[in-house]
Amino acid sequence: MIPVRVSFAVDFSTDRTSNTRKAALWSLAARVAELRPKASKLDIAGALYARERLGTTAMGGGVALPHTVLTDEDASMIVVRRLERPVEFDAPDGMAVDTLVALMGGKHDIKWLRAALLRLGRLAQQGPLRHQLRTATTQDEVAAVLAALGLDVHTDQKFCVNARTVQAEGRAALGMTGRMQHSIALR
């Protein structure tokens, strides 16, 4: 086993206009491009579309986990988008998706993807946490759910390159003290 530390910047926003899977992924790409100005919206959208063509990222229960790799210098992040209008994502349970939990990270550090997918996969089995995520109304509520899944998260709006820098305000809002770092063992 290889011990790994992965820290994720967290963003939460609402998509009020999308009514198809493609539109929701495009809107997601636009949001990521706002947060990562060096990243191209077209490249992000293309990567998200390509991943979705491999098979649905919907996990059921109204949640999908789209993910892709960004440029080398980008730190790992989780962007949660609430869809005001649920859209069809070919979910295993047939339920339309109203919450996108998107994983983004740099090419140099692919371990972020595996670590997050292992943790986020628990949402499929943990209905109460999934419900909390789907009904969250603030970025801090989203971050608290992700932390409950064992992810090291921070809500730094600047999305700093040093992803382990956690603002004291974010920790206090989550009711946590000290550093929010978890060792994640990968096989």
Active site amino acids: 67
Helix/strand/coil for 52: helix
**67-70 and 63-64 strand pairing:** unpaired
Collapsed DSSP state (helix, strand, coil) of residue 82 = strand
d(CA 45, CA 37): 14
Long-range pairs of 173-181 with CB within 8 A, sequence gap ≥ 24: 173/140, 174/140, 174/143, 174/144, 174/147, 175/144, 176/147, 180/147, 180/152, 180/153, 180/154, 181/5, 181/7, 181/152
DSSP state of 165: -
Residues in the chain: 187
> Helices 139-148 and 127-135: crossing angle, nearest 10°?
160
